[in-house]
Amino acid sequence: MTTRTELAGQPQLAHVPGRAFGLYIHVPFCATRCGYCDFNTYTPAELGGANPDGWLAALRVELRLAAESVGSVPVQTVFVGGGTPTLLGGAGLAAVLGAVRDNFELAVDAEVTTEANPESTSPAMFATLREAGYTRISLGMQSAAPQVLAVLDRTHSPGRAPAAALEARAAGFDHVNIDLIYGTPGETDDDLRRSIDVAVGAGVDHVSAYSLIVEDGTALARRVRRGEIARPDDDVLAQRYELLDNRLSAAGMHWYEVSNWSRAGGECRHNLGYWEGGEWWGAGPGAHGFLGDTRWWNVKHPNAYAQALTENRLPVADFEELDARDRHVEEVMLRVRVRDGLPVPLLDADERARAERLCGEGLLLAQGEALVLTDRGRLLADAVVRDLLG
């Protein structure tokens, strides 16, 4: 990998024709910070004068500069994430999509997702979003158990997330995702069963489920260090993953990536782009992008972000050029986690031999020209990647 110190100046950001192209837009605002979260997001006290209007003005400039770099490539997917995009309100999120359309052509069947925190949504907001052209809503529910929501510092009541999912569907959204976190200390198997049933009962066509990660520097990590909360246990996490997979499968949702389940046709095309070699521009403070062999990321604070764009320059903090080996490692890491599997022709002779051993150990399964994780392999996906790469 070659880093910026070796590559003077700015990254060369050009689209490679034939690759999928998406836009990620980062909204860096949250009303309060959840104790487990280390995403690039700011509460009002941390903003140092930055605000959503200034952010939107800067975003418009970044999107103009982005369109000048990549040219007239149709955008197949847009994903507005955060932070809490719904703090912008329906009109604010409509303006974000308007800014995309002012600068890019959206493919006719474009998937346009926004993340949404249940407590900052309403039927009127979902109607505005649908009208504006959003096609998919991703709700952070995390759990249906009040004591789990309390450990996670979530501010919504257990009933608000499924109610929001039903409201989104009533507003005409066919594609609604619910995010769950499992393995939170204090969560029982029954709590997780109920969370899954509540999500499925709200009629969503997609569930993402993540094991609770204790990120360094978070309030949760400090509480774990002080011994106030136990660290999530690996065996419990594995057992909860199996519970999730069995219950979601019984409800007609199938895994298509290790942490993602959907009904047929409900897969998130934007995220599939990340996993299957697509390109994307990441706009907004701290956002990462990937074009050609270049990965870059923006400055993190909304004030530094706005300052760069006021001067009409890209707010790039740093970038790296991936060489063939980096691209290969990344491809193996990402594609093995997807249900369509890792294409065997990508592997060299040594890797194929190791793949054969992993098949013998019941961790991978050869399906046509692809290697797919078995149920047990999904529990050990990281180890499978390490083994494959040698």
Ligand X SMILES: C[S@@+](CC[C@H](N)C(=O)[O-])C[C@H]1O[C@@H](n2cnc3c(N)ncnc32)[C@H](O)[C@@H]1O
Residues that bind ligand SF4 (CB under 6 A): 30, 33-34, 37, 39, 41, 82-84, 117, 140
Judged by CB under 6 A, the stretch of 2-10, 78-86, 320-328, 334-342 that binds ligand X is: 78-86
Instruction: Name the minimum Å distance from CB 39 to ligand X.
Output: 4
- Measured at CB, which residue is nearest to ligand X? 140
In the range 337-376, which residues lie near ligand X by CB under 6 A?
none
Cis bond before residue 252 (omega within 30° of 0):
no
Give which of ligand SF4, ligand X, none residue 224 binds (C-beta under 5 to 8 Å, depending on kind). Answer: none
Q: x/- contact string, 141-160, with ligand X (CB under 6 A)?
A: -x------------------
Instruction: Name the minimum Å distance from CB 113 to ligand SF4.
Output: 15
> Is residue 155 within 8 Å of residue 135, measured between CB atoms?
no
**Token output for 21:** 């192209």
Which three-class secondary structure state does DSSP give residue 114?
strand
Cα distance between residue 141 and residue 152, in whole Å: 11
Indicate the residue among 169 and 319 with the shorter CB distance to ligand X: 169
Q: How many residues are present in the chain?
A: 390
Give which of ligand X, ligand SF4, none residue 215 binds (C-beta under 5 to 8 Å, depending on kind). Answer: ligand X
- Measured at CB, which residue is nearest to ligand SF4? 37
Indicate the residue among 189 and 215 with the shorter CB distance to ligand SF4: 215
Q: Which of 106, 176, 105, 96 is nearest to 135 (CA)?
A: 176
Indicate the DSSP class of residue 144.
Answer: S
210 binds ligand X (CB under 6 A): yes
Indicate the residue among 69 and 122 with the shorter CB distance to ligand X: 122
Indicate the DSSP class of residue 105.
Answer: P
According to DSSP H, which parts of the chain are helical? Answer: 52-70, 89-103, 123-132, 146-151, 160-170, 189-201, 219-225, 234-250, 269-275, 302-310, 324-335, 349-360, 375-379, 381-389
Indicate the residue among 7 and 224 with the shorter CB distance to ligand SF4: 224
The CA-to-CA distance between both ends of the chain, in Å, stands at 19
In the range 211-230, which residues lie near ligand X by CB under 6 A?
212-213, 215
Binding residues for ligand X (CB under 6 A):
36-37, 39, 82-84, 115, 117, 140, 142, 179, 181, 210, 212-213, 215
